[in-house]
């Protein structure tokens, strides 16, 4: 999986090396441009932020259909 402009060092694109299709908290995430590896705590924060954003996108669609 790729995360565009997610590198904390150079704002380059990040890629998960261990699981290409799904982002997991134990993945090795590296920047394509500068080669920066995210530390485990940075990876956990990034994954939790992405999951919250995905959940927030789903909730308005579900609550709008109930009205």
Map out the domains of the chain as residue ranges: 2-66
Q: Dump pLDDT digits (tens) for 6-64.
A: 999 999 999 987 765 667 767 788 999 999 999 999 988 988 898 898 889 887 666 65
> How far does CA 58 lie from the centroid of its chain?
16
Which DSSP state fits 33? T
Looking at residue 66, what is its pLDDT? 55
Q: Please check whether residue 16 is in contact with residue 29, taking contact to mean a CB–CB distance below 8 angstroms.
A: yes
The 3-state DSSP class for residue 61 equals: helix
Neighbour tally for 38: CB within 10 Å: 23
Looking at residue 14, what is its pLDDT? 93
Looking at residue 1, what is its pLDDT? 79
Is the predicted pLDDT of residue 65 greater than 60, yes or no? no
């Amino acid at each position: 999986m790729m995360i565009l402009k997610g590198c904390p060092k150079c704002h380059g694109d990040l890629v998960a090396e261990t699981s290409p299709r799904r982002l997991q908290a134990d993945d090795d995430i590296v920047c394509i441009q500068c080669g920066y590896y995210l530390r485990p705590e940075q990876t956990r924060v990034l994954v939790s932020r992405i999951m919250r954003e995905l959940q927030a996108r789903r909730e308005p669609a579900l609550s709008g259909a109930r009205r």
